[in-house]
Chain A
Amino acid sequence: MSTSTVTSQESGPETADRRLYTAPLVTIRRNGDATTVFLDLPGVDAAGLDISIEEDRLTVTGRKAARSQNGEPVYTEIRDLDYRRVFELAPSIDTTRIGANLKDGVLTLTLPKAEKLKPRKIAVS
């Protein structure tokens, strides 16, 4: 088995900016040249999503839309925490062409392999 080009840096609740976050659950898959990362972010809309890349670290932060006033809580399991997860990217990933799509609370990140690293044939003139 080859090694993943994307590795999860941290998992579990963590603090950053003195806020408490929860780590969203992920699936990391590689399909040929592209790596796909799926994150479960229920309750987060496009406005509450922040994806940033700094050097080889990709950080996803998801803020839940303000909980609507539904009355008094009778029973609660949903944690009122925002999401945050950091991934370390292999140098083979082209960070300028990362794609992101958020649908029904699932974020799909597409991380293509850099063109220069793909095998190439060199024509002899």
Chain B
Amino acid sequence: MNLIHYRKPERSVWSPFDRLTTLQQEMNRLFEGTFGEGPSNLFGGWNPALDVYQDKDNVTVVVELPGLNKDEIDISIHEGALSISGERKQEAEKDDAETFRSERFFGRFQRSVHLPSAVDHDKVTASYKDGVLTVVLPKSEEAKPRQITVSAS
């Protein structure tokens, strides 16, 4: 799978659909403002935004998980898929607190991604900083690119 950042197409000067495009952009703006980043589930779930990178040695998975305790994040690998799950708890407040605006997600979440390469399960490391989880998965030796020398016969 390959997902590339959406870029706004150049708008031609005389297009009769200009206004329509603007309206559509306004609608997108509206929804982006309400539901935030990443593909969110409209029915109450939380799908934290996630990136996958790879170079010749490692596969790196980055997940935006603001406000979590690192002990509350579960990471597992099963059959070539990485799963990250946990629960985000709302900040404790007194009973008489009134909420005026509530856009942030709380509760359980789970994200799974298929890893683009075989990885060495024993060498996986994870770090959590500024609300961002980074999982580094070293590729297994068999998955690394290798140079094959041609022997003279």
5 additional contacts (CB under 8 A) given A2-B98, A77-B51, A106-B66: A25-B104, A29-B97, A71-B54, A75-B1, A105-B130
Report the number of A-B residue pairs with Cβ-Cβ less than 8 Å: 153
CA distance A42 to B134 in the complex (A): 12
Q: Are B52 and A40 in contact (CB under 8 A)?
A: no
Classify chain A's interface size.
Answer: 35 or more
Q: Are B5 and A79 in contact (CB under 8 A)?
A: yes
Question: Chain B residues with Cβ under 8 A from A7's Cβ?
Answer: 100
CA distance A82 to B54 in the complex (A): 24
A74-B132 in contact given A11-B34, A25-B36 (Cβ < 8 Å): no
Q: How many residues of B contact A (CB 8 A)?
A: 51
Q: Are B62 and A75 in contact (CB under 8 A)?
A: no
Taking the complex as formed, is B71 at the interface, i.e. its CB lies under 8 A from any CB of chain A?
no
Taking the complex as formed, is A66 at the interface, i.e. its CB lies under 8 A from any CB of chain B?
no
CA distance A74 to B117 in the complex (A): 11
CA distance A103 to B68 in the complex (A): 10
CB distance from B28 to the nearest CB of A (A): 8
CB distance from B23 to the nearest CB of A (A): 14
Taking the complex as formed, is A54 at the interface, i.e. its CB lies under 8 A from any CB of chain B?
no
